[in-house]
Structures are given as C-alpha cells and as structure tokens.
Amino acid sequence: MAKREKNMKNYEMMVALKPLLPDDVRKALHKEMSDYVKASNGVVTDVDVWGKRYLAYNIKGHDEGYYIVYNFQMSADAVAELKRKLGLKNEILRFMISEVEHPELVGKGIKKKELEVEV
C-alpha cells in the first residue's frame, strides 16, 4: 500500500451506471475514475463490481443499475472535483461518496461466497 499523506482521507464511492452500457464504455468509465484518483495523488485500495441490480425505484427511466464500489484514499479538495466530474457523466444514474472512519474494518463484516473448484 502506498504511503499515506497527512491530508489524505479514506473514502468509499458507490456508482450506479446505466444497465445497458456496452462493456467497453463501462471499462472506459472505470479507467477514467481510477486515473483521476491516481492523478490527484490518491490511491485506489479496492474495487468491487456488484453488476446489475434492481433499483428500489426508477431513476431516469431505468429500473436496474450496474453497481461498482470503490475504496480509495484522496484529499478532500480532489473529492469535491471528483463529485463535479461524476455529476456531468450521462452514463451514471447515481453516485455516492462517503468518508470511511475505520478503513481497517472495510470488507471484514461481509462474508464473501467462496467457490469450490474440483480438480
């Protein structure tokens, strides 16, 4: 893990993309978000792709969204600019960025399903 600067904070960002976007567009958006964090002297610590999920209510005429969850470290000034950039993207239905107070606990409470592979 990269050395953490004093003004860096831990954040979690959930993005709900339009469900019918082609894979290349989703990958380009993911790369753009990751590159912005890195260009702002931040570090992406984890990315969790949830895939398509039903929404609780229609957003912009869609009843499904393609979810991606990012955990990253970044300065607060850069997060404000990231929010502005995300708000301009037509491919994004909704996004939410929240500060993580205890980053060491992220992912610990979730029991991920393990796949058994027969050899």
For the chain, the domain total comes to 1
Assigned domain for 110 exists: no
CA 26 to chain centre: 12
Assigned domain for 111 exists: no
Assigned domain for 116 exists: no
Radius of gyration of the chain (CA): 16
Assigned domain for 2 exists: no
pLDDT tens track, the chain, 119 positions:
444 456 788 999 999 999 999 999 999 998 998 999 999 999 998 888 888 999 999 998 999 999 999 999 999 889 999 999 999 999 999 999 998 876 666 655 555 545 455 55
Assigned domain for 113 exists: no
Say what the pTM is.
0.78
Contact assessment for residue 92 and residue 28, using Cβ atoms and an 8 Å cutoff:
no
Return phi, psi of residue 90, to 5°: -70, -25
- What's 12's domain CATH number? 3.30.70.60
